């Protein structure tokens, strides 16, 4: 499913109005009505509540006016507080303000701090607030009077229902602009916004509902948003169904190169994860002194003892043997546990320079690339890099904190510059494509902060590669399934304490969930979609939309 920037959403709105001929006031009507419907579903006893709507002067406030009208028409006690003078409300919002005035819905002008202070005693009597203050175009920090209002609403202790986006949240980055509404529920219009589905934005959005306001798919297709969020039904159609006559050779042969004294388990987990993902054959190339350990531990994986250094690590002396092992293989996974001494790094760089197979580079393999990123542009086959923020920072010469502040742009810029696929791991893992496309993964949980999880993901990606999946499909499937398997374990075993090996064992079960025939998968697509466990859920609510006006002014959801 597409997720959009504020600029992309503005362009979609503009095309819907100017090219497709849907009046802006109709989009506002659809948005407000749909939001009110979600509110009634969220709060079954809403008619027994006293609802306050805090509205700005722009289209976000206009959506709030429409909500007020539908609440009042359905017997809800509602009042509107406008953070400006009435005469400053323009366009579609002004028309809807006039409608609620005709309905005698209480409206209070609150244009400044003094007016806000004067009505403070009244504001404490509401059971629920609707935040319709600021829209998706916010870029600078919220200051002064508006900040006072946001802080007050957050401290009431009452649930807040955000319209389109919590006021104060940057819709492109998920960053808090000074202060931000902490919503219990957010209803957003048309498509989800990037900042609503990544951290820290997730923590302020609450339960996220995306409602259809009548924008045709043909309009969205003209904009072609560059960002997506993975949903099970979206990736289910990329899962390949095996032919009855399939044999192990036809399911692909993977070579894993890794392991060193103290870290043999990393390469072992990578190998097992590839098998669990469906690879027909896996060979693990490991230092000869560790080979007997791997032979005992890995009954389904073939092992190949390789020449080693005096320290029992892999180094350049193993290069020729590894090149021989690459014959007949479909992909290479390199790095897990291979070591970070100079000889091991030199081996990784040489193998990547010579390699003609799709390859996944992780862990110690990434350390070998520090200061040698020029190798990436010279690669003869697709490369998939799977760094965590610390590894990404070391590749770029910046801190992990800097990476975390702009995860999407860091991953996209690196992938585009170096012509590689980047899997930037962490909460809401980012998949960046060489062409600039971005995919956000919603699965996974904090219990994955455990050793070996990254090694499992490396094996899964490589396991799909050898089965003939494209680098993008292999990466998306693996990242989604990896997190989904962990979510399953968190639910069944508990949120903390399950191991990377446990994730490996439930991979087939999670693949089964995605392996339905296309017709069944379509029928199974729910209208309510959960993107993750606590703190937020993702729902899609589809309502029958109808035109309510022939006016056609501009519609933008920014202030």
167 and 192 in a common domain: yes
256 and 226 in a common domain: no
CA distance 520 to 235: 14
| Structure tokens belonging to residue 146 | 């508006």
CA distance 348 to 367: 9
Look at residue 106 and tell me if it is in a domain.
Answer: yes
Query: What is residue 209's three-state secondary structure?
Result: strand
27 and 78 in a common domain: yes
258 and 192 in a common domain: no
284 and 193 in a common domain: no
What pLDDT does residue 239 have? 86
Task: Point out which residues pair with 423 in neighbouring strands.
Answer: 431
323 and 221 in a common domain: no
489 and 454 in a common domain: yes
Total of domains in the chain = 2
143 and 252 in a common domain: no
250 and 227 in a common domain: no
424 Rama sector, left if φ>0, alpha if ψ -120 to 50, beta otherwise? beta
DSSP 169: B
CATH number at residue 196: 3.40.50.10260
List, as own/partner pairs, every contact residues 308-312 make where C-beta atoms lie below 8 angstroms and the sequence separation is at least 24, other chains included. 309/341, 309/343, 311/261, 311/341, 312/260, 312/261, 312/287
Task: Give whole-number Cα distances, 116 to 54, 90, 181, in Å.
Answer: 11, 22, 17
CA distance 391 to 340: 13
CA distance 212 to 249: 47
448 and 371 in a common domain: yes
What pLDDT does residue 536 have? 31
Look at residue 122 and tell me if it is in a domain.
Answer: yes
Task: Give whole-number Cα distances, 511 to 147, 238, 336, 350, 484, in Å.
Answer: 47, 12, 24, 35, 10
Look at residue 71 and tell me if it is in a domain.
Answer: yes
What pLDDT does residue 237 have? 82
Look at residue 11 and tell me if it is in a domain.
Answer: yes
Would you say 339 and 364 are in contact if contact means Cβ atoms under 8 Å apart? Answer: yes
Place of tokens 């990544």: 198
288 and 180 in a common domain: no
74 and 15 in a common domain: yes
User: What is the span of the domain harbouring residue 192?
Assistant: 2-231+535-541
What pLDDT does residue 234 have? 83
CA distance 331 to 334: 10
Residues of the chain with pLDDT under 50: 517-559
Would you say 308 and 315 are in contact if contact means Cβ atoms under 8 Å apart? Answer: yes
CATH number at residue 517: 3.40.1190.20
Phi/psi of residue 311, nearest 5 degrees: -85, 10
């Amino acid at each position: 499913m597409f997720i959009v920037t504020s600029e992309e959403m503005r362009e979609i709105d503009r095309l819907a109005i100017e090219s497709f001929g849907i009046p802006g006031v109709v989009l506002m009507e659809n948005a407000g009505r749909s939001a009110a419907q979600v509110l009634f579903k969220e709060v079954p006893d809403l008619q027994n509540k006293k609802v306050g709507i805090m509205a700005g002067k722009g289209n976000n406030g206009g959506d709030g006016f429409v909500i007020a009208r539908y609440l009042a028409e359905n017997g809800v006690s509602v009042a509107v507080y406008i953070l400006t003078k009435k005469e400053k409300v323009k366009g579609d919002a002004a028309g809807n303000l006039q409608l609620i005035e005709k309905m005698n819905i209480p409206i209070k002008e609150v244009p400044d701090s003094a007016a806000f202070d004067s009505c403070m005693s009244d504001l404490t009597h509401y059971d629920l607030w609707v935040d319709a203050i600021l829209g998706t175009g916010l870029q600078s920090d919220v200051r002064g009077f508006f900040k006072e209002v946001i802080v007050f609403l957050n401290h009431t202790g009452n649930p807040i229902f955000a319209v389109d986006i919590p006021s104060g949240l940057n819709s492109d980055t998920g960053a808090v602009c000074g202060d931000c509404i902490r919503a219990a529920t957010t209803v957003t219009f048309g498509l989800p916004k990037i900042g609503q589905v990544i951290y820290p934005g997730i923590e302020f959005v609450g339960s996220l509902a995306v409602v259809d306001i009548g924008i045709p798919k043909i309009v969205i297709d003209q904009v072609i948003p560059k960002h997506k969020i993975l949903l099970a039904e979206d990736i289910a159609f990329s899962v390949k169904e095996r032919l009855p006559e399939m044999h192990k050779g036809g399911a692909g042969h993977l070579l894993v190169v890794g392991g060193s004294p103290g870290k043999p388990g990393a390469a072992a987990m990578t190998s097992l994860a590839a098998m669990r993902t469906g690879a027909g054959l896996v060979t693990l190339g490991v230092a000869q002194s560790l080979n007997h350990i791997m032979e005992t531990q890995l009954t389904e994986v073939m092992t190949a003892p390789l020449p080693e250094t005096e320290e029992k690590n892999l180094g350049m002396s193993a290069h020729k043997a590894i090149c021989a092992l690459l014959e007949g293989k479909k992909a290479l996974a390199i790095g897990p546990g291979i070591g970070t001494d100079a000889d091991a790094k030199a081996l990784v760089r040489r193998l990547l320079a010579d390699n003609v197979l799709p390859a996944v580079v992780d862990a110690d393999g990434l350390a070998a690339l520090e200061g040698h990123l020029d190798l990436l542009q010279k690669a003869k086959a697709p490369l998939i890099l799977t760094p965590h923020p610390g590894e990404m920072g070391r590749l770029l010469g910046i801190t992990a904190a800097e990476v975390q502040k702009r995860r999407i742009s860091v991953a996209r810029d690196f992938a585009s510059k170096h012509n590689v696929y980047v899997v930037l791991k962490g909460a809401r893992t980012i998949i960046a494509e060489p062409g600039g496309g971005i995919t956000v993964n919603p699965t996974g949980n904090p219990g994955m902060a455990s050793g070996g999880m990254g090694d499992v993901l490396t094996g899964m990606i490589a396991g799909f590669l050898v089965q003939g999946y494209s680098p993008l499909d292999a990466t998306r499937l693996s990242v989604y399934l990896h997190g989904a398997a962990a979510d399953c374990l968190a639910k069944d075993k508990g949120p903390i304490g399950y191991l990377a090996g446990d994730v490996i064992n439930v991979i087939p079960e999670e693949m089964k969930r995605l392996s339905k025939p296309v017709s069944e998968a379509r029928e199974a697509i729910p209208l309510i979609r959960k993107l993750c466990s606590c703190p937020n859920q993702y729902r899609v609510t589809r309502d029958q939309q109808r035109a309510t006006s022939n006016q056609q002014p501009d519609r933008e959801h920014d202030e």
